[in-house]
Chains A and B, each alone.
Chain A
């Protein structure tokens, strides 16, 4: 497993950089939760793009994988929606 992670280390560094930027933007948007939701949706979109590119470069892309990334990012949006709509009434 560690060998596989080492092979993809540059991809993961780029992903963590995107996430770090997202965390910074979310922090800057405090306490505007509507803006934070919008930032998260954009981050989730970039996650799908990043995932597709990652698999495309490694010649292992399929429609099933694209759907998986879309589903996981939508799951993230659903979690955030539940938190903000259900918990804080945005």
Chain B
């Protein structure tokens, strides 16, 4: 084993003064294995989605808890989970998957407010935050809080209710997890929002008494939460959310994490071999006709940076 590793990583007379891993045949073998593994993982994902697939550890409860923590830190009242807003969020997520878009407005001009009204939530204030590609709730909240527009939505005193949807599907040819947050209130909030808390039109809508939607557009049923006790609503909503969760297949292995870790491992392995090769050859003063190891180290370091960039989530 020691000899094998020595051959693989250190230049020596026995490997023609070039680490075995850096021989053309070895690199070619690594390329073939990576392409084969890429196709194989993709095939397993399609054939056995319960074994390998995309999933996240994000739940509506975690998102609500973390959002309310941020609101309380900023002296705002906590939001209550609303089933109609959760339904609206799920409708929006499914619409994004079915129409293949990543935006607040659909390609056919459907705004977020259409989903909220369609779910029967008769809002005065409404807002929407979107996230994709995140693996845990804390990262989603951190990303929204780092964006001024999304932060305004999360920390607006205008909202009383919130609904979440965490859905997995294929968007722009990529398997991803979408998080939709719909915020709203059916009556003016007790604490008036400062003027600077109004987000862009794409994320927040206000209906004043002078611009109430026409009766045909407005839902005919009034939201339930104003009449029912808050604790009762939360309990009912949690039951529905749990039912939704069990209907989703959670694969045993997260393919995104597996491929990310393996890709980084391959890059690090080659960087290690190149650096060791460079140091040993420099010490032994061996003259070889090969490419500059430093060039390859920089190229592979770039790959490590890009992997980190590619796998991070996005918000809009």
* 30 CB < 8 A contacts A-B: A8-B292, A16-B298, A23-B309, A26-B306, A31-B102, A31-B314, A33-B174, A43-B302, A67-B24, A68-B290, A69-B291, A76-B299, A76-B303, A78-B34, A78-B35, A79-B267, A79-B303, A82-B37, A82-B263, A83-B311, A85-B38, A86-B41, A86-B42, A86-B255, A86-B259, A88-B54, A88-B255, A89-B54, A89-B255, A90-B174
Contact of A85 (CB < 8 Å), options: B30, B42, B258: B42
Instruction: Check if B270 is an interface residue, CB within 8 A of chain A.
Output: yes
Instruction: Check if A75 is an interface residue, CB within 8 A of chain B.
Output: yes
Contact of A75 (CB < 8 Å), options: B30, B38, B302: B30
Binding site for B on A (CB under 8 A): 1, 4-5, 8, 12, 15-16, 19, 22-23, 26-27, 30-34, 36, 40, 43, 47, 50-51, 54-55, 60, 62, 64-65, 67-69, 71-76, 78-90
A residues near B24, Cβ cutoff 8 Å: 67-68, 71
Q: Cβ of B306 and Cβ of A34 under 8 Å apart?
A: no
* Given A72-B27, A83-B263; A89-B45 close (CB under 8 Å): yes
Q: Cβ of B39 and Cβ of A85 under 8 Å apart?
A: yes
Count contacts on B: residues with CB < 8 A to the other chain.
Answer: 60
Q: Cβ of A75 and Cβ of B295 under 8 Å apart?
A: no
Q: Mark B3-43, 1 if CB is under 8 A from A, else 0.
A: 00000000000000000000010011011001101111110
Instruction: Check if B218 is an interface residue, CB within 8 A of chain A.
Output: no
Q: Cβ of A81 and Cβ of B35 under 8 Å apart?
A: yes
CA distance A12 to B132 in the complex (A): 36
A residues near B303, Cβ cutoff 8 Å: 76, 79-80
CA distance A58 to B48 in the complex (A): 53
B residues near A69, Cβ cutoff 8 Å: 291, 295
